[in-house]
Amino acid sequence: MSDPTDILVLNTGSSSVKFAVFDAQLHERISGVADGIGGSGILRIGAHKEVLALPDHRQALMAVLDRLTQRGTGPDSLRAVAHRVVHGGTSLTMPTRITPTVRAAIQACVPLAPLHNPHALLAIDALDHLAPDLPQYASFDTAFHATTPEVASRYALPPQAEALGLRRYGFHGLSYASVCRRLPEISAAPLPARLLALHLGNGASICAIKNGQSVGTTMGYSPLEGLTMGTRVGTLDPNATLRLAEEIGLRETKEMLNTQSGLAGLSGGLSDMRALEQAGTPEAQFAIEHFCYWAIRHGHSLIGAMGGCDAIAFTGGIGENARNIRARILDGFAWLGCSIDPEKNAQNAPCLTTSTATPTAWIVPTEEERQIALDADTLIGAAT
């Protein structure tokens, strides 16, 4: 029997498990999602869909492994399982093999990511039971930002607040790591020394990447800070948060700021950029303008953190596909010499700017799952 070659990547949420299988060359073989965990769910693999009971994460993973086995890529053909873990805190700042000590460290970060880390732990524990001999690895969404200087990551709070873990961690790190890997391949040139990377989707952030390392980002203690997002408010005066908590209650404030604000709050309920562009209402137009304005404004702040800008990269669903949004944002950087080529932008071409533009602008498709597989592959190779 030949040695196992595949790596299974898992992205586990509260009611879903997204998965992808990568071969030895890190080409994606199969992908899908088990959705609706907690009741009657749906398991999609490629174009195939089936309805089945998914009472909990363990049953969902059992179903995923069973269907993958039927397709010839079950546990016996896997080298490893690699997990996306949202929060690694200040201690888990590199991809790592999951050991009891690492699992305890992920558990210790639950207060920092109560909506995310517990579900990753459910998947880790379920796999440990279902396939105990299968090595498991973790890549952390916060890890890319571990290089940000203390002056950028620390809030102006006294030590007792710092001791609670209240600091800027940043997120979308796996996306930014994949941008740094892919942009040189796309541009056929070295990674720009000062890269402004915009991950624009339902969740949105910007990162200042200097010499391949994060030196600043818009998300902070949680993914709520920074840009106007699909349903998240972005940066808000803390006293406004306190006023809301006094008026409507803490639970209701948390719900409002995370799920009822952002584009949805401004437009009357539309959080999808495509729907906003099609709506044509004054409220939808204002929401779009708000999104672009704050991307431009935050972007310039991060250019200041780098001392200049050599290139701009767009990734994420909006960044890769919404040509009008890209054009509006890049117009805000025209004074720098970032001259957009309308035809290239309309075609979603890799390079969006004219031949003489400085900085240049690029579309870099995000490859978070492949980045996670690459992280695990690298660790496996280093251990052999």
pLDDT, tens digit only, all 384 positions of the chain: 568 889 999 999 989 999 999 999 999 999 999 999 999 899 999 889 999 999 999 999 999 999 999 998 989 899 999 999 999 999 999 999 999 999 999 999 999 998 899 999 999 999 999 999 999 999 999 999 999 999 999 999 999 999 999 999 999 999 999 999 999 999 999 999 999 999 999 999 999 999 999 999 999 999 999 999 999 999 999 999 999 999 999 999 999 999 999 999 999 999 999 999 999 999 999 999 999 999 999 999 999 999 999 999 999 999 999 999 999 999 999 999 999 999 999 999 999 999 999 999 999 999 999 999 999 999 999 987
Q: Which residues pair with 313 in a beta bridge?
A: 197, 362
Asked: is 190-367 a CATH 3.40.50.2000 domain? The reply is: no
Cα(42)–Cα(36) distance, integer angstroms: 6
- Whose tokens are 């959705």? That residue is 35
Q: Catalytic residue, from 128, 133, 141, 310: name it.
A: 141
Q: Tell me, yes or no, if the two domains 6-140 and 190-367 fold the same way.
A: yes
The angle, 0 to 180 degrees and rounded to 10, between the axes of the packed helices 100-108 and 117-130 is 160
Phi-psi domain of 130 (left: phi exceeds 0; alpha: psi -120 through 50; beta: other): alpha
- Parse the chain into domains and list their residue ranges: 6-140, 190-367
In this predicted structure, what is the pLDDT of residue 313? 98
In this predicted structure, what is the pLDDT of residue 2? 67
In this predicted structure, what is the pLDDT of residue 173? 98
141 part of the active site: yes
What's the number of CA atoms in the CB half-sphere (13 Å) around residue 88? 28
1: its two tokens: 């029997």
151: its two tokens: 């002056």
**pTM to 2 decimals?**
0.95
**Contact residues for 286 (Cβ-Cβ < 8 A; gap 6+):** 266, 267
Cα(260)–Cα(248) distance, integer angstroms: 14
Selecting from 1.10.3720.10, 1.10.1750.10, 3.40.50.1820, 3.30.420.40, what CATH number does the domain 6-140 have? Answer: 3.30.420.40
In this predicted structure, what is the pLDDT of residue 1? 52
Cis peptide before 359 (omega within 30 of 0): yes
In this predicted structure, what is the pLDDT of residue 14? 86
